[in-house]
Structure 1
Amino acid sequence: MLAPLRGFDGLNRLDVRLVLLLGLALLPIGIIAMVQTYRVIEDSDARLEAALLGETLEAAAVERQVILHTRGAAQSIARIIPGYNEDPKTCSTVLDRYASSITDIAFAAHVSEDGIVRCGSAAVGTDLSSTATHTQYVETGLPFVGATLTARQTEDNLINVVEPVVDGNRPDGYVILSFLHDAIVINPPGNNGGPRPLDTITFNDRGDILSSQIGLETALDRLPVNRALSMLGGNGTGTFEDVDRTGAQRLYTVAPLLPGSIYALSIWEPSAGRTGGLTAMSAVLFPFLMWLISLAVAYFAVHRLVTRHIRSLRQNIRAFSSTRRTLSNVHLDEAPLELREVIEAFVSMTHQIARDEAELENGLHEKDVLLKEVHHRVKNNLQLIASITNMQIRKAQSPETKFVLKRLQDRVLGLATIHRNLYQASVLSNVRADTLIEELTAQITRNSITPAAGIDLELDIAPVSLYPDQAVPLSLLVTEATTNAIKYVGRPTPDAKPWISVVLKAADETGQVRLVISNSIGTPVNALPEGEVPGLGSQLINAFVMQLGAVSQVTETGTQYEINVKFSPSDFTAEDAAA
């Protein structure tokens, strides 16, 4: 399996990964096809080379027969010529008769070791010591076929067959049989419908040209520039490409007529060596194209049968997850059975989810309505209790009783304010504690502080959202602490104004919310009622601090009394925050 590629999302798509896996699976087949194509090319090249060599041998077949016949005749004459050493005239007569009886022979002679023609069909007594033929004989002492001028010193080029003469165990010169180039007819190859050579020439092992199909002068221009004829004979049979002396690219084939002695060289156009378009490039190109076509077909099949249906399903899933809109544009007609079952199952699931969510939303809505109704009823009942308490305050005769009922009324009104805020909140699980504290503080100061008292109220309330199980004890804590602050507020100095401060700060870097309620102390502004037992407010404050899971600290100086409370608010979930 292919692991997901990080940073390459395009390669992690289903269709791309399937194509990659299929490409890996088809790669060995492509390699095998490439190897087989190479083998076909090699076999075709070998067959073509054999065909060209066969054409070359066929073109020089007549010359080969003439040279073999002449060489056989030279060997026969070399055996009998020592018997005529004492009678040069008879020797010349025999050689002349022999040359006349064979049409191709233009000159026959017995040449001595020092290069003098002892006897022959012509030019008896001529000195041939300076000719290339005699020089080669002196150098090798072996039979050979060469090309030189005739002994008559004409401009006709001859093909000379030389055979050494041995008298007993002593070398006695050599027999030379010469025939003109024109006497050799090179068959034009290519009559079978195949390619035709530009020229076919024959040469010996020394690189001397013996014959040419179209003429020696033209043949010289078509010889390879970078390879000598003498080197070609030593390499045996072969095919190669080279540039001729005119700068044109040519194809050459070399075939031995007489191994080690005579060779034939055919000159072709480069196209003659091309195997019907099969080249090394095709060995790679054809398998590569097959591989690409296979991948394209696989990609089209995967896209047609799988990918496009999965993409459509993915788009609808995303639309459903974000907008809860059920599927509507999934086409199942062309989808495979397995995908059709998956899509149908998902369509059914989306409808079921939509119905379940609608029922849940209705249930939640009903619950919210009921809870708000409960808070509304509780708020009304608390206000009713506060009103009854107020009636009792008016009828009470004892100041102590009035004070106790007043404190009770403040606490009841504080609870009513809390339930009113819960009733008015749009989300019951998220209460704005800052708004609640501002309303409570305003209500308490309005009911307990008269304008004549001249008390300054300082509020520094930061926005804080809490769950109801923390907002309620926090509100009750603020109610008790603010009521105590109003009861015990005093003037630090005769000229100073009394003050009360309520500070609520949002969560800091430690994640804690801080509530600070402080007041000035000194000369009391409000007279304490007779017979009051202090400590109830402090007990309630401590109880509310415990409910918050907070830590409180009370600080008292000569001019200030302060309650400092720190607590950690509960974390809201993502759903609560979104709501």
Structure 2
Amino acid sequence: MMLRRFLWPFRTGLARRLTTINILALLPLLLLAALLTRELFKEYESNQARAALGMTVRAAEPEINLIRAARTLSETLAAIAPGVLRDEDSCRRIMDLAAASHPDFSLVGYIGEDGMMTCGSHGREYNFAGTDLLARMTQSGGAQTTLARVGPVSGVPVLSVPSAVMRPDGTPGGLIVVSVPQHVLHTDRIKSDDEPSEVPEGLLTFDSEGQLLTTSVVVPRALQLMPQGRELSELAQMGSVSFLDTDFTGTERSYAVVPLTSELFLLGIWNREAGSGLAALRVSPFLIFGLVLISCFTAATLAADRLVTRHVRSLASAMEAFASGSRQSYRSTLHDPPAEIAVLAEAYDLMTETIQREEAELEDLLREKEYLLREVHHRTGNSMQLIASILRMHIRETRDPVQKGVLDHLYGRVMILSTVHLGLYRTSGVSSLDMQRLFNDVISRVDLLHSRPERNRSVVAEIETLSLPPQQAVPMALMLSEVLPAFYSAYSDEEADPVVVHLSMTSDHNAVFAIDGPAGALPRLNGTDGTVPSQIGARLLRNFVRQLDGEMDLISLSPDRLRFEMKFTARAPQSSAEDEAAMGRIGA
């Protein structure tokens, strides 16, 4: 949560726009800086390559001097050999003198055309005929330096430097061979604290065909240090070059190739730490570009947050609190805002004060309305009770049976209306009525009005839990108050089957309202018994069915049982204004 709050300003639209504008404004400078840094990097890389080559040459200076001395000695002896080869003693003496002047050489000798060395330093003789070493030296015409992993004479790895002997008539006359032991070529180097990078990880010599000749480390280690992406034969074609690559152990290293002769090449292998400055500079153009971008983004974001977004967040928090219903901390508290945002905050404070004042007025109006509604309901209930009392007095005073029956019906309807009004009064402000409770109240009122001690009858209410809007619930209750007395009046003294009131849903929106009772209630329900109350009741039933958009039917279940059934579509609860309008239509 804290990270989200911290990163929120960086994700605002204003910060992004300011950052974009700053980047676009500085983009030419950024590109120029990147190009200049790239050129600097190229120049530095070139200097670094030359430095790596120089370091390799300096590190291999003893080997280079020794190989060159061997080559010089070999070519010198090959030049004077035609004059001294006639005398074997003179030949051996010259070979001994040459070996004595260069104690690092293990062998200096002459190999005849038949492969037999009869003139060698220290009086050594050896038959090279048929050996791979002689074949390789002869194949190159005595010009290629050859590596022997096991010297035939010395028994140790040597580098053989041959030179062809030419007779006065220009025909080949054998080879002069100078052998340099490998352990002499690569003496141990001790790294100093002052110049830790002056000693390479390894120095390798190889020929133009990519054949490894000598190494400053053991051969298995040398094979591990070789670059993965390039063969030695490829490096021989590249001339003087330095590059970065990964060895076969997965370590990134610096490599430098130095041609010693046209056939002999030196490969210097350096630890990657020696080129760490080069690697750092390699990413510097992108690093500078990225740093400038980050600086622009940070500056724009902080500026946007300082000048705009923090004030907008404060206003947004106040608005959210006000919208959620809080009236305690809704006012904006801005510290040193810009003039434009200060005007916005002042307008917001004025708006909230106006809304609060209007809300207070509305609450007063609502309380007054509720009070008036309660007073209206109270007075309406009192008026209905007063009308019912007056009707009751007339019923007691009237002797005419016809007038008394009419007054009884009027009294019953007034009491039913009072019951329905009481149900509405209890649920004032509710958009739907509980039909189970309302029907039970109406049934109790009808049973109280029409029950007789001498008659045994009862009502079974099979009413599902159902809520209807007042514009349907009121007609339903009044319809029940008209139908149920008709079944009550049709009871004979001996009948005991109860009246069954049924209300249920048959599908998602379709409902069925039915009452089962004595078949004798049919004339009163359809208004054919000849009395005015029954005709008025039948007319009211049709009006109620029309208000409900339903279908009414009288079904004979048996000779003694009749069903009043009405099917209608249950509506969804409506708003209070619609309820009041619907109640007005029902009252009309």
TM-score w.r.t. length of structure 1:
0.62
Matching residue of 2:481:
479
Instruction: Decide whether the 8 Å contact of 1:519 with 1:560 is kept in 2.
Output: yes
Q: Residues 310-459 of structure 1 correspond to what in structure 2 (within 5 A)?
A: 320-325=322-327, 327-328=329-330, 332-333=334-335, 352-427=354-429, 429-459=431-461
| d(CA) in 1 for partners of 2:348, 2:446 | 59
| d(CA) in 2 for partners of 1:551, 1:180 | 121
Instruction: Decide whether the 8 Å contact of 1:502 with 1:515 is kept in 2.
Output: no
1:343–1:560 Cα change, 3 Å: farther
Residue identity matched to 2:54: A
Matching residue of 1:503:
501
| d(CA) in 1 for partners of 2:399, 2:339 | 90
1:443–1:179 Cα change, 3 Å: closer
Identical aligned residues as a percent: 24
Count matched residues. 518
Structure 1 position 558 matched with structure 2 position 559: yes
| d(CA) in 2 for partners of 1:58, 1:279 | 30
1:497–1:69 Cα change, 3 Å: closer
Offset at residue 159 of structure 1 (A): 9.2
Residue identity matched to 1:562: R
| d(CA) in 2 for partners of 1:144, 1:429 | 109
Q: Residues 78-477 of structure 1 correspond to what in structure 2 (within 5 A)?
A: 130=127, 142=142, 162=163, 164-168=165-169, 195-197=197-199, 226=223, 255-260=258-263, 270=271, 274-276=275-277, 278=279, 320-325=322-327, 327-328=329-330, 332-333=334-335, 352-427=354-429, 429-477=431-479
Residue identity matched to 2:58: E
Instruction: Decide whether the 8 Å contact of 1:164 with 1:172 is kept in 2.
Output: yes
1:364–1:40 Cα change, 3 Å: farther
Matching residue of 1:539:
539
Matching residue of 1:3:
none
1:145–1:17 Cα change, 3 Å: closer
Residue deviations 1:94-127 (CA, integer Å, cap 9, x gap): x98xx99xx889999999878999999x99xx99
Unaligned runs of 5+ in 2: 149-153, 225-231, 578-588
1:431–1:368 Cα change, 3 Å: farther
SS at match of 2:487: helix
SS at match of 2:505: coil
1:434–1:366 Cα change, 3 Å: farther
Residue identity matched to 1:397: R
Matching residue of 2:510:
512
Residue identity matched to 1:555: I
1:405–1:219 Cα change, 3 Å: closer
Greater CA drift, 302-311 or 316-325? 302-311
SS at match of 2:279: coil
Residue identity matched to 1:483: P
Q: Select which of 46, 51, 55 maps to 1:52.
A: 55
Instruction: Decide whether the 8 Å contact of 2:486 with 2:521 is kept in 1.
Output: no
1:289–1:398 Cα change, 3 Å: same
1:58–1:389 Cα change, 3 Å: same
1:298–1:517 Cα change, 3 Å: farther
| d(CA) in 1 for partners of 2:469, 2:117 | 137
1:345–1:56 Cα change, 3 Å: same
Offset at residue 506 of structure 1 (A): 4.2
Instruction: Decide whether the 8 Å contact of 1:146 with 1:208 is kept in 2.
Output: no
1:448–1:54 Cα change, 3 Å: same
Instruction: Decide whether the 8 Å contact of 1:554 with 1:563 is kept in 2.
Output: yes
Residue deviations 1:219-274 (CA, integer Å, cap 9, x gap): 685896549xxx8896765779989xxxxx999866444323x66677x7746854
SS at match of 1:469: helix
| d(CA) in 2 for partners of 1:173, 1:361 | 125
Matching residue of 1:569:
570
| d(CA) in 2 for partners of 1:134, 1:519 | 132
Larger Cα-atom Rg: 1
Instruction: Decide whether the 8 Å contact of 2:479 with 2:541 is kept in 1.
Output: yes
1:177–1:479 Cα change, 3 Å: closer
Instruction: Decide whether the 8 Å contact of 1:456 with 1:497 is kept in 2.
Output: no
Residue identity matched to 2:261: L
Greater CA drift, 335-344 or 417-426? 335-344
1:279–1:398 Cα change, 3 Å: same
Unaligned runs of 5+ in 1: 1-9, 211-217, 244-248
Residue deviations 1:389-435 (CA, integer Å, cap 9, x gap): 22222332311111112212222222233333333434364444443
Matching residue of 1:215:
none
Matching residue of 2:583:
none
Residue deviations 1:326-375 (CA, integer Å, cap 9, x gap): 54597643888888877776666555545444433433333333233223
| d(CA) in 1 for partners of 2:436, 2:246 | 98
1:464–1:322 Cα change, 3 Å: farther
SS at match of 1:571: coil
Q: Residues 2-21 of structure 1 correspond to what in structure 2 (within 5 A)?
A: none
What is the Cα-based RMSD across aligned positions, in Å? 6.6
